[in-house]
Amino acid sequence: MMLGDYQEIRDMVSKFADTEVAPLAASIDKNEKIPESIVKQLGENGFLGSYVPEEYGGAGMDYTAYSIIVEEISRACASTGVLVSAHTSLCVYPILNFGNEEQKKKYLPKLASGEHIGCFCLSEPNAGTDAGSLITFAEDKGDYYEITGTKNFITNGKEANIAVVFAKTTKTDNYKGISAFIVETDTAGYEVMKCEDKLGIKGSSTAQISFDKVRVPKENLLGTLEKGFGIAMNTLDGGRIGIASQALGISQAAFDYAKKYSNERVQFGKPLHALQAIQFMLADMSTKIAASRLLIWEASRRKDNNETYSLQSAQAKLFAAESAMWITTKAIQVCGGNGYTKEYPVERFFRDAKITEIYEGTSEIQRVVIAANELKDLK
């Protein structure tokens, strides 16, 4: 795609975000639910199947366009942004890239249209970052697999119709026995046990899911048997770009509001932005936003060009997430006591930003990935 195409996409998504999503952001946070009307519009506009080829019902864009979509939606509402990100990069992506033709034709059109929402079931109560320690087991029953176990912190878990589920098909104490499955959530034995009461992104459900002898047809094995760990890690590499884009959108929203407030708020006979201390904060915010965006674009460009991008996606997520926390903290500082109240949106931006340092791997995990890539040639 050409640069002009990306600007056209940004303008389109920005208009939708400003007119349809942003006015509902506070109520989404308060009511802890994204309206079905918004989800429907996300699908109708192609935002839930952005890089799905047109032959499978998608918009036929690329990953760079997807990162712009997540950024702009997250700028308006971080909860809605993460619904788009988790659905697209964690459920649609592995089916598109590791599914066979029958699986793609069966599942991608409804996922791309928003008729179905997807989730990614890897984490467990005792196996978060240490995915190799998961204990959910898929027993071979001849014509089907029977999955039993519990999954934790599943984004979109309450709403999902389709889940990409990771379970061991061989009882090992490491990642080598893990396989991936496409599970329809209306299957008997699949149950949403609870939804977490979270600090931020409150409109996005984060669920604990129980699998009690859930029968999964053999044809729903995703990829190759016992190669699920590779599918999970490959998926998370791309997912980090989406979370970085979410963090960037939150940062942009916080900066825009702080700048606006600094112009409207008068102290000592002049607007706040006339004070050098405020100018310095705004200057640093702007610089961190620009750097985050360039890191995301580089990771997306490499992914679109089929180049290695694990290092770049980790760098983008690390920097964008930590920048989001810094920027939202300073946005509250610019707004002073007002910024600490729920009457102003910057406290919501602050709460929403924190999760970007945690999911898809903590900032510390990103540093491990970056160091591993940078030091692999050393003896």
pLDDT recorded at residue 175? 85
DSSP 146-214: EEEEEEEEEETTTT-SEEEEEEESS--SSGGGEEEEEEETTSTTEEEEEE---SS-TTS-EEEEEEEEE
* Average pLDDT of span 25-35: 98
pLDDT at 371: 96
- Do 81 and 74 meet the contact criterion of CB atoms below 8 Å apart? yes
Name the band, by pLDDT with cuts 50, 70 and 90, for residue 174: confident
127-131, 179-183, 192-196, 305-309: range with lowest mean pLDDT: 127-131
Which of the four pLDDT bands, split at 50, 70 and 90, describes residue 301? very high
Q: Is the pLDDT of residue 184 over 80?
A: yes
The verdict on domain 229-378 having CATH code 1.20.140.10 is yes
Please determine, for residue 192, whether its predicted confidence score (pLDDT) is greater than 90: yes
Question: Which of 6, 104, 118, 9 minimizes the C-alpha distance to 55?
Answer: 104
Domain assignments of the chain as residue spans, ordered by start: 3-117, 119-226, 229-378
If residue 270 lies in a helix (H) or strand (E), which one and from where to where?
strand 270-271
Q: What is the pLDDT of residue 379?
A: 64
Both tokens of residue 127?
């196996």
Just list the catalytic residues: 360
Which CATH number among 3.10.150.10, 3.40.190.10, 1.10.540.10, 3.40.50.720 corresponds to the domain 3-117?
Answer: 1.10.540.10
Contacts of 361 (CB under 8 A, 6+ apart): 129, 236, 240, 314, 317, 369
In the predicted structure, residue 303 carries a pLDDT above the cut 80:
yes
Query: Is the pLDDT confidence value at 110 over 80?
Result: yes
As a CATH number, domain 119-226 is 2.40.110.10
| Arithmetic mean of pLDDT, 332-337 | 97
Largest Cα separation within the chain, whole Å, is 79
How high is the mean pLDDT of the chain? 96
For residues 51 and 66, is the Cβ–Cβ distance under 8 A?
Answer: yes
The answer to which of 187-191, 194-198, 360-364, 367-371 has the lowest mean pLDDT is 360-364
pLDDT band at 360 (very low <50, low <70, confident <90, very high): confident
